[in-house]
Structure 1
């Protein structure tokens, strides 16, 4: 993995943590998530005239990505309703790079050397260990854990589909702009059907999250989609999930959440894995 890709993905991870902190701080998670996703629309619409059209061969991947991203958002919301945030999020994000690595090696035939596999395992296991931070009802709730793990499967799936699709499209930004446009329209349709009052509230109470969270989220995944075309998808996915480290730092230093040994262990595990990824094959 080149230095440019490494720095770009770390920056994307920081932006990912930032918009998640905005969603976490919102009283209405559905409104916050809707505002972030709909916030992609104005950026995508402005960018579309200036980016190439994706190759026609990438359209099945674009359609698959739309379904997977929307499924991820719905399952993530349901997970948060059933379980604790500090347990659901690590299970979902930590399981994804492990699933992607296994699929890449066994199905796609991608070769990862021993150091890269070790780095992915360290990052994934370190993040998942955050599920032990609090022994609350969320951790004991098997349904919440199952939904969180399913969310991780969606993350792994859309990472693989988007990574391959962006390569075939010949334009990572063009591919992602159309993906964002479709995803935003799907979210509007979903909220209009299931919670019209939430949709109406977004311009009034969700505008800061729409602008700041939507902007951060769009930029973060645009960078990740580009990185998928520059490095193995499994490595990019693993490095991206170090976002949980930034989320922890934001929680401790800005939200004044308590720090404990499990959080310290997880942080250093993710950082060690990131360092190993940076220097693997260098």
Structure 2
């Protein structure tokens, strides 16, 4: 991996943490996520329409992934309403690869090495320390079920996307259509649930939400490009440095409390994810 690819992947990790921070920044977390979702639709269409049609068998996977993203975004939004970015993001982001690795070991034909089992154990310990901090630092304990719910949804759509992309015949077009389905399902679902008031009126909110959507796609696109020129496992592992970026953004930009245990737990989660993906 060249230094330029390394910097690009680190940039993608930062963009992923950034769009989460932008959602956290908004006074209405749900409204910010709705704007991000609305902006996903034209982004997805611009990418998908010029490409060959995906296989008809892939459309149920697109819809299933879009529905799963609804739960992912809902849980993540509610978690950010109840807790710090530097607390929620590592739990939500770190739990998912641990569950995927364990699921693959039990239900798929994926061999798990001793080092990867050690990584899973380190992940579990780091997440446990991070979750314990909620009880010891006086934060709202209600963030935990929503952060874990977001991780479970992430696990589900990761597995759906992996299988759906294989069936589609064109992974890029498949993901673009998932963007469209995701954007439509979440924005329409929230409009039906909470009414028209869920759409913020302030132009600044639309500007921030649209930028968050671009950052979300940029994080994905850079990662996919990097996987074409560098080892996939290495790119996937480096991308998880987004956890450290989220912790730093929460501390430096939002003034969130940074304790020694929180910093150690975040580092453990990052190392655990890297080990499980190498």
Residue equivalent to 2:107:
107
SS in 1 for 2:49: helix
Tell me the distance in 2 between the aligned counterparts of 1:89 and 1:104.
Answer: 23
Q: Which residue in 2 is equivalent to 1:25?
A: 25
1:9-35 Cα deviation digits (max 9, x unpaired): 654332110111111111110111111
Deviation at 1:158, TM superposition (A): 0.6
Q: How much has 1:264 moved relative to structure 2? A: 2.6
Describe how 1:57-68 pairs up with structure 2 within 5 A.
57-68=57-68
Matched residue, 2:131: 131
Residues 42-101 of structure 1: per-residue CA shift (max 9 Å, x gap):
222222233332222322221210111111112223334455554444332222111111
Q: Any residues of structure 2 matched to 1:93-172 within 5 Å, and which?
A: 93-123=93-123, 125-134=125-134, 135-139=137-141, 141=142, 144-172=143-171
Aligned mates of 1:226, 1:167 — CA distance in 2: 18
Preserved CA contact (<8 Å) 1:86 1:130? no
Distance, in Å, in 2 between the alignment partners of 1:211 and 1:48 is 19
Partner of 1:46 in structure 2? 46
- Please tell me whether the aligned partners of residues 119 and 272 of structure 1 are also in contact (alpha carbons under 8 angstroms): yes
Residue of structure 2 in register with 1:181 after alignment: 180
Hey, what's the Cα distance between the residues in 1 that align with 2:5 and 2:174? 19
Per the normalisation by structure 1, the TM-score is 0.80
- Give the root-mean-square deviation of aligned CA atoms: 3.2
3-state SS in 2 of match to 1:110? coil
Moved more, 166-175 or 116-125: 116-125
The answer as to whether partners of 2:101 and 2:276 remain within 8 angstroms in 1 is no
Q: Indicate if the aligned counterparts of 2:31 and 2:200 stay in contact, CA closer than 8 A.
A: no
Classify the secondary structure of the residue corresponding to 1:50: coil
1:195 aligned residue: 195
TM-score relative to the length of structure 2: 0.81
Structure 1 residue 271: deviation in Å?
4.4
Cα separation, partners in 2 of 1:239 and 1:103, compared to 1, 3 Å? farther
* Aligned residue-pair number: 271
In the alignment, the residues of structure 2 paired with residue 91 and residue 274 of structure 1 have an alpha-carbon distance, to the nearest angstrom, of 12
* CA drift at 1:6: 7.8
- Whether the 8 Å CA contact 1:166–1:175 is kept in 2: the answer is yes
- Unmatched segments (≥5 aa) in structure 2: none
- Counterpart-to-counterpart distance in 2, 1:122 and 1:5: 27
- Which consecutive residues of structure 1, in runs of 5 or more, have no partner in the other structure? none
Q: Secondary structure at the match of 2:108?
A: coil
Task: Report which stretch shifted further, 14-23 or 92-101.
Answer: 92-101
